[in-house]
Chain A
Amino acid sequence: KQEVTQIPAALSVPEGENLVLNCSFTDSAIYNLQWFRQDPGKGLTSLLLIQSSQREQTSGRLNASLDKSSGRSTLYIAASQPGDSATYLCAVGEYNNNDMRFGAGTRLTVKP
């Protein structure tokens, strides 16, 4: 069974810092990987979706990479801002399975 792990569980950084969030998965036979943002008391907002054939996706200050062979993905946030404070979740999609496996998330706090 696919297991998705996100480390660290929480991260606090000063404004302006570049940071990396990590996601690892145990079964490399994935179809794609999706990064979400969740604000307190809110739903999940999709940030980036990487297909298995891709190595990375970029959107503004966000860059997500995927290394299937090592079972890892990273979400890079450049020049962090207090508005980036939220919980970031990664989710893995598998072949022959319409379910997505979610990590527990990393709670990010960007201090002004």
Chain B
Amino acid sequence: DAGVIQSPRHEVTEMGQEVTLRCKPISGHDYLFWYRQTMMRGLELLIYFNNNVPIDDSGMPEDRFSAKMPNASFSTLKIQPSEPRDSAVYFCASSFGGMPNYGYTFGSGTRLTVV
């Protein structure tokens, strides 16, 4: 398996633009998580899905952030409009049967810079 695949690896955009981050989880994994990592706040959970259904989005910072999982093999995280404070590394992770049993597998992340 190729692991969790995220794209793009790097994204530089201007303030006010829409940004879409993509994630392909490991085949067969039924949980998908979006995290954001910054120097100041470390790793923060934004949202997670179980069987393509959003379960907990309490970590989504504002209405500017939205996430979808149209099928078991694809998820997007969208920021519209983007702001400089959104600059961070965004990670996607997936697991099978829920984290408690098998832990997480992370993607390589998308480094977002909003100027």
What's the dominant secondary structure at chain A's contact region?
A: strand
The residue of chain B having its C-beta at the shortest distance from the C-beta of A100 within the complex is: B99
One digit per residue, 1 when the CB lies within 8 angstroms of any chain B CB and 0 when it does not, for chain A 82-108 equals 000000010101010011101111000
- Chain A, range 5-34, C-beta contacts under 8 Å to B: 31-32, 34
The residue of chain B having its C-beta at the shortest distance from the C-beta of A96 within the complex is: B100
Partner among B42, B50, B107 whose Cβ is within 8 Å of the Cβ of A102: B42
The residue of chain B having its C-beta at the shortest distance from the C-beta of A103 within the complex is: B42
Chain B residue contacts of A104, Cβ below 8 A: 42
Q: A93 to B56, Cβ gap below 8 A? A: no
- Chain B, range 93-115, C-beta contacts under 8 Å to A: 93, 95, 98-100, 102-109, 111
Partner among A43, A89, A98 whose Cβ is within 8 Å of the Cβ of B100: A98
Question: Is residue A42 contacting chain B, with contact meaning CB distance below 8 A?
Answer: yes
One digit per residue, 1 when the CB lies within 8 angstroms of any chain B CB and 0 when it does not, for chain A 23-64 equals 000000001101010000111111001000000000000000
Q: B56 to A99, Cβ gap below 8 A? A: yes
The residue of chain B having its C-beta at the shortest distance from the C-beta of A6 within the complex is: B42
Say yes or no: A89-B55 contact (C-beta < 8 A), given A49-B103, A98-B31, A100-B99.
no
Question: In the bound complex, what is the Cα–Cα distance between A91 and B33 (angstroms)?
Answer: 14
Chain B residue contacts of A41, Cβ below 8 A: 111
Q: B103 to A42, Cβ gap below 8 A? A: no
